[in-house]
Amino acid sequence: MATTTGSTSANPKVNYKYRRNKARQEMRAHVTSFAMMIFLTLIAFIMVMSGFDKYYVFPVLLLLAGIQVVLQLYYFMHMSHKGHGAVALFLYSGALVALIVIITFMTIVWW
């Protein structure tokens, strides 16, 4: 058993079995996403080193980076937990606004 959440709660009604189970699931998700992130990073390095065409490499790199950001946010910064609705809403609205600005700049200012 690699993880124990320990009994941080003074409440005697806390269900330890449930909490331990929950913690185990969480740990599994952590390890899985960590492995995936290493794997994605490896793909990125190999792709660059093996000298593919840059118009192929750039979009795939951006996509991999995007996936890593999502994994980071959800599995390591706890956005998958309850009570992060407002945070997620503002994060996504901000990302949307930024995206619109970037698209506009790429199409009507620089293109």
Site of interaction with other proteins (CB under 8 A): 86, 90, 93-94, 97, 100-101, 104-105, 107-109
Instruction: Mark 7-42 as b/e (b = at least 16 C-beta within 10 Å).
Output: eeeeeeeeeeeebeeebeebeeeeeebeeebeebee
Q: Measured from the CB of residue 94, what is the shortest distance to other proteins in angstroms?
A: 6
Task: Compare residues 11 and 107 and give the one whose CB is closer to other proteins.
Answer: 107
Q: Measured from the CB of residue 82, what is the shortest distance to other proteins in angstroms?
A: 15
**Do residues 37 and 71 touch, judged by C-beta distance below 8 A?**
yes
Task: Compare residues 35 and 101 and give the one whose CB is closer to other proteins.
Answer: 101
Task: Compare residues 51 and 83 and give the one whose CB is closer to other proteins.
Answer: 83
Q: Measured from the CB of residue 78, what is the shortest distance to other proteins in angstroms?
A: 17
* Residue 91 in tokens: 């994060």
Backbone angles phi, psi at 3, to 5 degrees: -120, 145
